[in-house]
Structure 1
């Protein structure tokens, strides 16, 4: 009986003891960054603050503490690898970092083998695929979304080509490749790619050589995808070369917004060199928690550096990891490791003991917990899509002006460019896409065309006739080689409408003493001496057989040239509409109609009777009064009425013809031509 009680007690007590043992006192977490960079300094402060906040809240890990270890890679890939290996020797469950995509590609292979998740908010290379690197998680939007935003900006402002300057490393090359893909989707392209040595090795000479090449190109839209140290050198050299003047467009990736947020105040030299540039800032919606953390920042950083969005992502990454570890422990998981025996023991007396590297047994479960995160942090909602991209990535569009910067709009992957914050826009509307006025390099508010005539292109030779007559069409300005005229104005207007550059030069044809032969002029185009011609060149059949013409912009059709006959106004001008014969025939008809009506009416109509004198007056009055339809005598006979109706119609035609002829004679000059038939 006693044995039964002992076994029962053991069965009851063992589960409780096991559960208590699964909650370690501390969990090792590593963090890697380059403290000499802006993001490195900001993320170090934010990560330490987050770890302190997690450890001070017993409800997060149930008494377990996060034991944080920092490693400064100091711009060195070798030191980064050494630091990661040291983390793996000390039973680290996760590493926050690395800071660069170069190290992420290398260390992800190590993480795959040892099942240690890597969480990075700055290594945002879009090629860090979850299929190839399952244990690498990007906790901030990767550069694919940033490049999509830049492509939308290029499309919004109507440019077609851009030149890209980038750091020649994994992040720079793959970011520019993503930019090219996004531009191609909108029928744009990258016309030139300028690679700089990896940050911070780029010198002023390296930058100058690339900018000189870009200055010779057609495109004036430049996308700068690099890091802060190299990027500021690029702007400084660009200002020296006159590439921050009117006509240029500079679009910098998010590195420039971190400089604005974390470096205050900027030196006057730096502030002047970046005026008019556009840049992106990761958008984080406003919240009470975010405002509270911003108010704490000066105390946390001792005023040494300003907070930028990547500091908020660093803080949220720690909390994301803490919740995932807590869920792992709640699920009965254990923090346990086993050595990789295949690597053997330490060799060569090195400080890194490869034999001490161990596999984290709960790594897969911890990774799944991280990817299933669904909470709200300082950066807004935190969750992942099945492809591991964050929810609703968005950016602020920033325009740098003389006294700082202005936010001109927003971009999100579901609403595109908008002036409405992404979290408040419930539906897409084209009305939300009208951005406010942008201040461009040189201080102008007029949108740059985005291209110029390249200095390294072959100019088209445009032939121009050197005329001595009809100089309004085309002529040479006296004492100069400048040509002007209506045809030249048409040509220049057409050139301005082209969405690409056409370098050209005007070449005069003729000695200026007489009009040149247009037959020879056209033949010189066909022979290749001229690439094109501008002037008052008529389109005739024999010319169309050897050259192509544009659509005619002056067309007269088939015309007859005749002298103008001016009419002298005089007293008898009212008789001009009819010839004398016409007047005589008309008068005769009036008399005949009067006589016919008297014959038909005087026997039965008293108004046509009386003394002979009265009857003659009646005949004359009746016939001429019908001209104005003012006759008063009634017609009684049927035949008389029929004659009267026909005569009144004839009178109407005579009146209309006379009125029209007289009006045209008094208002329009007459043309006389000898051509008849």
Structure 2
């Protein structure tokens, strides 16, 4: 069997569980040693199929198995078992027994010459049906196999086995089966010697996790200046909460420690420089708002994303129309306004003609009758007319007119509300090419990979790019038209729009990237487990986002010029 070496330039420990027979296992470990996999950075655990048959393994194979950890059944010799076997013989009624021999062979070492126990089947059945309390637990056979209640853990050192401890169902892992009551000492296993003569207690090793120190967008990751009772930095934010939730889903403990990546309350470099710390073995992983990008995947491994992916741009909205004092005239076109006015006058005239001869409310001086013609039609808009009509033809005309008024007022109200609210969300720019063609400045988040995207993919000149650090700087730059647009990752844009929702809008298209994920050393065995846990955690991502972010509500307010949208807490 030939093994390909998996050794890399990092110290992430790989653990192999070997379940095989001795003949195959000896060949396996010989090849593993040749491949450099019996050195520091590897751990091997063998099961009972191999560990109970170490004696037949030749010395050359034993030399290649240094530092492995074995597990096998522990069945100590006990005089009680001998007495129990004697009891079985007695119960089986075999006080007198004999052997049958075969004369088929003449050679003294011929196996066929061996005798056969005449009552062997009888004794076997008695043993299978016997149960008693042994020195290390209950003696019980299932399908001819002894069911052990105790296992011993040993370490191969030199040509000998070094006992590490024991496991029982009642007491768990123990250094010694003879419990003297000192649980603090007795529950600790001996430290094993790992491959490569490494005597470090790996259970005390912790995953080194780099955390970006940020003074902006702290809703995602925030390393506070204060420390907890253990002297560790306090960490919060959406990315941190997701990571802690993932650890809670894992089916095994993951000891870790956080190492802030920052200076004087700010990040100590770009995110690419932070991830290179993994490549150079300074960190084992990085947790934070780390975007999954193709070139970063060449030197680190990412988990599945836990956030929405993509880069888009945010621009200022047009609001010229809502500041127009005469905006209330714009829901209807000029010809519709003229037609409506003419119908108003005509309807009032028709009602006057039909009513003034028989209805005293439509009689009087000429100026009074002229005023009644105009007043009656306009007052019907809000059903405020005081004049009563008595002619049936007048009532028919009035029914038609009220129906027209109802349609007209509803259409006008809807159109005006749309102009006062929806139209303000029209973007000042809706095309990247337009911005690039006119040579406008664009902004991006400082220390972000978005700068490379703007230069290499969107073909912006570097002298047209301006870096910003905070949401407030985004707001000022766009409001004062220092830049035509700001490009950033969608989670940051959502956070920005959540706070400044009445003045800006996000524009498509979206430039696809991987989303936020956790970074680990290449080949790390933790990645698939973390990714699987992320899938479970992100089912409740919306609830987690609301607990980490401060949301604002979009509402309409009345100002001197018009109605406007505003963000309220």
With the shorter chain as reference, the TM-score category is 0.3 to 0.5
Q: TM-score normalized by structure 2?
A: 0.39
Structure (1 or 2) with the greater helix fraction? 1
More strand by share: 2
Relative contact order, higher structure (CA 8 A, sep 6+): 2
Larger Rg: 1
